[in-house]
């Protein structure tokens, strides 16, 4: 495996590796949404990295090496020497915003022979991440796992962009399949946030829209908890997500609030929160978040036969807001566990996708550090 990594900030390309020509690489382009809407920026990326398989995704911050960057373009080109990849794309707007059908359609397109792993890069505005995973896993092979993340737009929540080959646009979901007997891909997802306050019951919801908790309007109850910070919604919700224990599941998932509807007194979450689920508020400390990143790397490295060559890090925008100037500490925690020779790339997201530890079934997470470690 060979990699070339660079980022563009203030109109200059800064290389983190040696510049070299690669053979048919997978090129991951993570960047600020405003920059990805600028055709002159896209043209410059294509000129600097003149390859076929470019995958674009907007972010809430870019990860390149040990660096967490803002308002930039981060590019990582990966040449697979012993294995291969296949990329498929579709658009949620072509499926009447039905994420389950989109997931099914995407997986149907993917060649199945020797498929080892699926990585999904989803737009983060229209897609219900839980439903997308359900569609992808509807007929998925038993030993094929899914990881990935949902694109971001800083803390604006206006729109997100993604694409494969084409210029970035709204509604796109990109699925990357990895193939090869020599591939070793491991993963993990850990938060570091702590629940607080009473545990309540979701009494009315529909998909990822939460209407009532304990029979009371969900948004009104949430605002009471936030106090003065309620005036800063929906951005303030990134600091106080929900801990949701879904009926029939032992391990809770975290749900970030993407938007609010004052008229309906409801909250739009990044993933499903079914009725009868138990729900609590959550909060975090910088040290807790950094420790969560360390544990995620520890779990992802557990029982690996080879050292990872590439690490794809998807971390939640809420973690970045809490850590603020110390945000790079969680990247440092990961690097301590995976070693200095691993190429690190990724972004801050509106949702992360990975199975729980000791499970093959993917879940949508929020407020986690999610790692996908690859070697061949």
Cα(311)–Cα(225) distance, integer angstroms? 38
The tens digit of pLDDT for each residue in 131-153 reads: 999 999 998 887 899 999 999 99
Q: What contacts 24+ positions apart, CB below 8 Å, involve 245-254?
A: 245/277, 245/278, 245/279, 246/272, 246/273, 246/274, 246/277, 247/274, 247/276, 247/277, 251/356, 252/195, 252/278, 253/363, 253/364, 253/365, 253/366, 254/191, 254/193, 254/282, 254/365, 254/366, 254/367, 254/368
The tens digit of pLDDT for each residue in 200-224 reads: 999 999 999 999 999 999 999 899 8
- Residues contacting 50, CB < 8 A, separation 6+: none
pLDDT at res. 365: 92
Prediction pTM value: 0.90
pLDDT at res. 358: 82
pLDDT at res. 232: 83
pLDDT at res. 43: 97
Q: Residue 206: count other Cβ atoms within 10 Å of its Cβ.
A: 12
pLDDT at res. 368: 93
SS3 track for the chain: CEEEEEEEECCEEEECCCCCCCCCCEEEEEECHHHHCCHHHHHHHHHHCCCCEEEEEECCCEEECCEEECCCEEEEEEECCCCEEEEEEEEHHHHCCCHHHHHHHHHHHCCCCCEEEEEEEECCCCCCHHHHHHHHCCCCCCCCEEEEEECCECECCCCCCEEECCCCECCEEEEEEEECCCCEEEEEEECCCEEEEEEEEEEEEECCEEEEECCEEHHHHHHHHHHHHHHHCCHHHHHCCEEEECCCCCCCEEECEEEEECCCCEEEECCCCCCCCEEEEEECCHHHHHHHHHHHHHHHHCCCCCCCCEEEEEEEHHHHHHHHHHCHHHHHHHHHHHCCCCEEEEEEECEEEEECCCCCCEEEECCCEEEEEEEC
Strands 172-179 and 115-122, by their bridges, are antiparallel
Residues 39 and 64: beta-carbon distance below 8 Å: no
Residues of the chain with pLDDT under 50: none
């Amino acid at each position: 495996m060979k990699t070339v990594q660079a980022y563009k900030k203030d109109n200059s390309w800064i290389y983190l590796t040696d510049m070299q020509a690669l053979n048919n690489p997978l090129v991951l382009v993570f960047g600020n949404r405003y920059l990805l809407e600028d055709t002159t920026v896209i043209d410059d990326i294509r000129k600097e990295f003149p390859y076929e398989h470019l995958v674009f995704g907007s972010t809430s911050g870019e990860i390149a090496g040990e660096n967490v960057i803002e308002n930039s373009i981060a590019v990582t080109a990966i040449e697979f020497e012993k294995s291969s990849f296949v990329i498929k794309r579709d658009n949620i707007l072509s499926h009447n915003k039905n994420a389950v059908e989109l997931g099914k359609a995407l997986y149907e397109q993917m060649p199945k022979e020797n498929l080892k792993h699926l990585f999904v890069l989803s737009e983060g505005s229209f897609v219900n991440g839980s439903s997308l995973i359900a569609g992808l896993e509807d007929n998925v092979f038993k030993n094929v796992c899914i990881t990935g993340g949902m694109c971001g737009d800083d803390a604006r929540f206006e729109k997100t962009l993604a694409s494969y080959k084409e210029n970035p646009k709204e509604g796109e979901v990109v699925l990357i399949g990895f193939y090869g007997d020599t591939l070793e891909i491991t993963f993990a997802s850990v938060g570091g946030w702590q629940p607080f306050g009473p545990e309540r019951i979701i009494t009315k919801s529909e998909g990822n829209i939460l209407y009532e908790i304990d029979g009371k309007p969900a948004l009104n109850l949430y605002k009471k908890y936030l106090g003065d910070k309620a005036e800063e919604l929906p951005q303030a919700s990134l600091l106080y997500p929900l801990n949701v224990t879904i009926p029939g599941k032992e391990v809770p998932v975290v749900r970030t609030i993407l938007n609010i509807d004052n008229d309906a007194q409801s909250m739009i979450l990044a993933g499903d929160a079914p009725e009868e689920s138990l729900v609590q508020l959550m909060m975090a400390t910088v040290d807790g978040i950094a420790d969560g990143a360390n544990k995620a790397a520890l779990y992802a490295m557990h029982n690996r036969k080879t050292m990872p060559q590439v690490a794809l890090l998807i971390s939640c925008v809420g973690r970045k807001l809490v850590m603020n100037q110390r945000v790079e500490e969680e990247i440092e925690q990961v690097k301590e566990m995976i070693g200095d020779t691993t190429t690190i790339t990724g972004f801050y997201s509106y949702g992360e996708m990975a199975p729980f530890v000791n499970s093959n079934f993917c879940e949508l997470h929020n407020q986690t550090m999610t790692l996908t470690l690859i070697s061949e």
